[in-house]
Structure 1
Amino acid sequence: MKIIVSAFSSLYTDQRIEKVCETLYKNGYEIVLIGNDWGGAGEMQRPYQFSRIRHSSSSLKSAYPEFNWKLYKELKKNADKNTILLANDLDALLPNVLISKKLNIPLVFDSHEIFTEMPAIQGRFTQKIWRLLEKRLVPNIRYMMTESQSYAEWFSAKYHVNPVVVRNIPRRITEPVEIPNNNPKIILYQGVINQSRGIPQAILATHFLDNVIFKIVGDGPKRIEYEELVRKENLGNKVEFLGKLIPTELRKITKTADVALSLEENGGVSYLYSLPNKVADSVQARVPLVLINFPEMVRVYHQFKVGELIENHDPKNIADKIKVVLEKGRAFYQPELKKAAAALCWEQEESKIISLFKKVIAENF
């Protein structure tokens, strides 16, 4: 059985798509992966077929329709009666719906987030367009996955769909943990450098911390602005931007941290209800966290005391909680991190994916 997986995404760094494809490939499915070259096309090696749509657009406003049109043609060329379509996020859904109807083949929708509620499009005209598309397409989705229980509840309440929750969490790390004796202590943010991630507040928090280096791993539209903030605040000796890293290199950096941050702001329900993959990445690396008190992170915290919670984004408050973690030390949190690592791993999610696709086959072929 062939599965065509498509996404307006950097296949080079998208860990969720890589893990889903690997799980399906290992279970005997033929995988055809289609992404694009927006934001770059790093060299990749995969055991299955993949391709990236080339863009001529210079802005996202025109890149989205260009991608959707070209994706439609690619799906039409590659799909047949023995195909399952797997669309990742709303920005790749329309061509998949059209081809699904045209060929009468099943479609699985994997919503990595609540796309229409992302901070980057809040209050913009494009948000109205995406909401209209969501309203037209999502209620008719028969098979769906999403990344958190809160997301699933939101989609169910709004569109009466029933998503399977497949958390975006890493594979389990089983090798022994080595706790470094860092001097200065390392604070880590990993992920997209964008608004509503709590990054500027964390930068300002370093004013209240001694003998630390705050490493920011990733790239994004707010990087230049935050680099300027570091210069303005004379924090160049405490804050370091490492840029975008491939997953294997990122994991090496994560293991070296003394404390990791997940301080998302309430820029809409997409962030409020998220379980950022950096939380589980840090858990697998046995690195304690400072977490914002959003539903999914509180859910993890109540199960496993993997760090400390904050209630607001005041820089002094953030610094105080970082101090608590640093003073207790990584060794203090290891028993809870070990228990959390056994639960928050991709191996716990794979059976849900396989069960969903077996159901798709049983009901359609």
Structure 2
Amino acid sequence: MNKRRKIYCVVTNDLIQDQRMHRICNTLIEIGCDVMLIGRQKPDSIPLGQQKFRQKRLKCFFNKGPFFYMEYNIRVLLYLILNAPYIIYSVDTDTLAACSIAKWIRNRKIIFDSHEYFTEVPELTGRKFVKKIWEALERVFIPHVNCGLTVSESLATILSEKYKVPFHTIYNVPMLNTYDRKPPGENKYLLYQGMLNKGRGLEQLIAAMPMIPSIKLIIAGEGDLSHTLRKMNEDSPAKSRIIFAGWQTPDQLQILAREAWLGVNLLDSKSLNYYYSLANKFFDYMHAGLPSINMDFPEYQRIIGEHNVGYLISDLHPAYIAALINDILKNPEEYYRKKECCAIAAQHYNWQNESLHLQTIFDQL
């Protein structure tokens, strides 16, 4: 690959919180590429921060639903045709149509990066017609991509077999830092960071809190359930110990994680997207030296089985969540062994290692 050629990466978010794409774009800049990250301008978007790569937000009349996806893809298509980058980097199925058509019109190369099992997300449950549309788009376009990337070994296997295109795993991991990992203080707290959306086990976690004495819960993030969860908390006997911290910057999240006692990563097994997922928060907790509770799903089974960095739970019933956390409180020796294992595992799962893998993939295009 001519490393000085333009690479345009396309997402549907507003570029602020997408740490994976920030890392990928910075890596491509470091190997000499001319990189632009393209997203959308939301009504409540905050100003973009300074980055090494260029950033572009497209304004749309529609902000959700089918008309948003149609309008956004049309705007992306026109922008890509006009600027004709050497490589088009499509992130998730909702950017795939515009990026693929631009590839064909301008005779360019395309990379498809599937950050999730898109057609199996909880938001499509019970919406058969909408799901069939997304499945049709994938069947038409994915077999023609030049390279496939995704976030876990399980998804790479599924997508490779389904579309007969090799998918490479690029883990969604942080940079390896040298900051001191603090022992938890006297005021222990659980930490959940991420979207407050359906299927994340947050309702059950809040319901479990009255059964977990003398420990706080900090929920850092916002989402579709923000109002529902806050209203639920108002009626909880543990409401004084549950704190909604809202959106936090990456630096603020690092501080919260380093000072927390236990990370939380709960998911609903009804969603195949969640079942085969490998959340970035799992690695964020690991890098902070923070053991975490995770679902007994394939990717977490494998990594925790190999590296002993956390705990597995198979049932989201509040009583089971509370029982596990109380058991962890009673076994500090095992807990501190897992803290030590987090630091060791971070030496393997870090962006310095993943960036080398990414460079190899791009060099082969």
TM-score (ref. length: structure 2): 0.94
Shift of the 182–56 alpha-carbon distance from structure 1 to 2, 3 Å rule, reads farther
After TM superposition, the structure 1 stretch with the greater mean CA deviation from structure 2, 54-63 or 102-111, is 54-63
Shift of the 58–2 alpha-carbon distance from structure 1 to 2, 3 Å rule, reads closer
Match of 1:42 among 25, 40, 46: 46
d(CA) in 2 for partners of 1:293, 1:231: 31
Number of residue pairs the alignment of both structures matches: 357
Shift in Å, 1:142: 2.6
Tell me, what secondary structure is at the counterpart of 2:245?
A: strand
d(CA) in 1 for partners of 2:288, 2:63: 38
2:61 matched to 1:70?
Answer: no
Shift in Å, 1:299: 0.9
Shift of the 288–39 alpha-carbon distance from structure 1 to 2, 3 Å rule, reads farther
Structure 2: segments with no counterpart, 5+ residues: none
Tell me, what secondary structure is at the counterpart of 2:340?
A: helix
TM-score (ref. length: structure 1): 0.94
Contact 1:12/1:246 (8 A) holds in 2? no
Q: Which residue of 2 aligns with 1:244?
A: 247
- 1:76-99 deviations in whole A, cap 9, x for unaligned? 12215xx11111111111111011
Contact 1:173/1:285 (8 A) holds in 2? no
2:336 matched to 1:340?
Answer: no
- 1:26-71 deviations in whole A, cap 9, x for unaligned? 1111101111123632221112211111122143332111111111
Tell me, what secondary structure is at the counterpart of 2:190?
A: strand
2:120 matched to 1:152?
Answer: no
2:6 matched to 1:8?
Answer: no
| Aligned sequence identity (%) | 29
Q: Equivalent residues in 2 for 1:230-241 (5 A)?
A: 230-241=233-244
Q: Which amino acid aligns with 1:257?
A: A
Contact 1:188/1:216 (8 A) holds in 2? yes
2:196 matched to 1:193?
Answer: yes
d(CA) in 1 for partners of 2:43, 2:254: 22
Q: Equivalent residues in 2 for 1:194-233 (5 A)?
A: 194-233=197-236
Q: Which amino acid aligns with 2:309?
A: V
After TM superposition, the structure 1 stretch with the greater mean CA deviation from structure 2, 275-284 or 223-232, is 223-232
Structure 1: segments with no counterpart, 5+ residues: 361-365
d(CA) in 2 for partners of 1:202, 1:231: 14
d(CA) in 2 for partners of 1:334, 1:236: 28
Shift in Å, 1:196: 0.8
Shift of the 39–159 alpha-carbon distance from structure 1 to 2, 3 Å rule, reads farther
Contact 1:308/1:325 (8 A) holds in 2? no
Shift in Å, 1:173: 2.1
Contact 2:69/2:94 (8 A) holds in 1? yes
d(CA) in 1 for partners of 2:238, 2:74: 46
Q: Which residue of 1 aligns with 2:27?
A: 23
Contact 2:261/2:290 (8 A) holds in 1? yes
Match of 1:57 among 46, 50, 62: 62
Q: Which residue of 2 aligns with 1:166?
A: 170
Contact 2:42/2:63 (8 A) holds in 1? no
Q: Which residue of 1 aligns with 2:99?
A: 96
d(CA) in 1 for partners of 2:71, 2:328: 47
Q: Which residue of 2 aligns with 1:363?
A: none
Q: Which residue of 1 aligns with 2:316?
A: 313
Contact 1:57/1:66 (8 A) holds in 2? yes
Q: Which amino acid aligns with 1:176?
A: D
d(CA) in 2 for partners of 1:322, 1:271: 22
CA RMSD, aligned part only?
1.5
Shift of the 310–87 alpha-carbon distance from structure 1 to 2, 3 Å rule, reads same
d(CA) in 1 for partners of 2:63, 2:358: 36
- 1:118-163 deviations in whole A, cap 9, x for unaligned? 0011221321211111111112223111000000111022111110
d(CA) in 2 for partners of 1:190, 1:182: 21
